[in-house]
Amino acid sequence: MTKKFTKELSLYGLTIVSGMAEGIDSFAHTTALETQGKTIAVLPCGFNKIFPKSNIKLYQQILENDGLVISEYEEGQEKTYKSLLERNRIVAGLSIGTLVVEGGYRSGTSVTARKTKELRKNVFCIPSSLENPKGITPNKLIQSGAFLVTTVEDIVEKYPELKLKKLEVQKPKEKGVEPEFKEIYDILSFEKSIHINEIAKKLQQPISEINSKLMMLEIDGKVIALPGNNYKKF
């Protein structure tokens, strides 16, 4: 759901704001980049203490693709429980509304939603199964007055003053590559990413060789590297 809504919101020209945490935050930023949309990441730490460390590459990709990463903390500042919560108020403050996909009991997501309400902005929630432990927050928020949404249009219609129009998705054009990179390039697609291990398995080549070729394709602007060693045509 995160990828679906993020992609369509990006196509409406909306900027995706999130906290660059693992999971939904990462999916949101990554999908915005894949859609060539705009995204802003708000950090709970200093710029030289990126948290989580697994998202350092995502941090670099956001900056390399005209995104924005902001922090209110000095360099050297490690994340703390307090700073994680403080970050959420900035996410709410920068946004015209908050979309809640999931969240467990007393999650950071509920803090962002509360701050959004305090700012008199809209809170949107995708309803969740009662058996899903991470569906507690969106379901509770709906009970307390948040907007239940099942499509992106349910969100867009709340902002008639913005006159949002959905962009038409143009099919990307294949790019010419050197013969030595062609078999890797042909395995990749524009729509769906593929893990480096799967590429190596299909081509029956060592990971080190695949990694080297992917790096050259990335430098040449033919391929985009996504978190978790996943790759797509660019």
Tens digit of pLDDT for each residue in 177-234?
A: 889 999 999 999 887 889 999 999 999 999 999 999 999 998 888 888 887 888 988 7
Tell me, yes or no, whether 189 and 75 share the same domain: no
Tell me, yes or no, whether 215 and 105 share the same domain: no
Tell me, yes or no, whether 57 and 95 share the same domain: yes
As beta bridge partners, residue 225 has 231
Tens digit of pLDDT for each residue in 105-162?
A: 778 889 999 999 999 999 999 999 888 888 899 999 999 999 999 999 999 999 999 9
Tell me, yes or no, whether 122 and 206 share the same domain: no
Expressed as residue numbers, the domain containing 211 is 179-233
Distances (CA, A) of 6 to 12, 35, 81: 10, 9, 27
Q: Of 135, 162, 189, which marks where a domain is finished?
A: 162
Tell me, yes or no, whether 192 and 156 share the same domain: no
- Determine the 3-state secondary structure of 43 from DSSP: coil
Residue 174 inside a domain? The answer is no
- Output the domain CATH number for residue 223: 1.10.10.10
DSSP 135: G
Tell me, yes or no, whether 156 and 185 share the same domain: no
Residue 101 inside a domain? The answer is yes
- Output the domain CATH number for residue 45: 3.40.50.450
pLDDT of residue 36: 84
How many structural domains is the chain composed of? 2
Residue 170 inside a domain? The answer is no
Tens digit of pLDDT for each residue in 25-49?
A: 999 999 998 888 999 999 999 999 9
Q: Of 162, 187, 220, which marks where a domain is finished?
A: 162
Place 171 in a pLDDT band, splitting at 50, 70 and 90.
Answer: low
Tell me, yes or no, whether 63 and 153 share the same domain: yes
Distances (CA, A) of 190 to 16, 132, 233: 21, 32, 5
Residue 173 inside a domain? The answer is no
pLDDT of residue 170: 59
The span from the CA of 39 to the CA of 53, in Å, is 19
Contacts of 179 (CB under 8 A, 6+ apart): none
Residue 30 inside a domain? The answer is yes
Tell me, yes or no, whether 96 and 198 share the same domain: no
Q: Of 132, 162, 192, which marks where a domain is finished?
A: 162
pLDDT of residue 11: 94
Tell me, yes or no, whether 26 and 62 share the same domain: yes
Residue 169 inside a domain? The answer is no
Tell me, yes or no, whether 25 and 112 share the same domain: yes
Tell me, yes or no, whether 80 and 109 share the same domain: yes
Mean pLDDT in residue range 88-106: 92
Tell me, yes or no, whether 44 and 140 share the same domain: yes
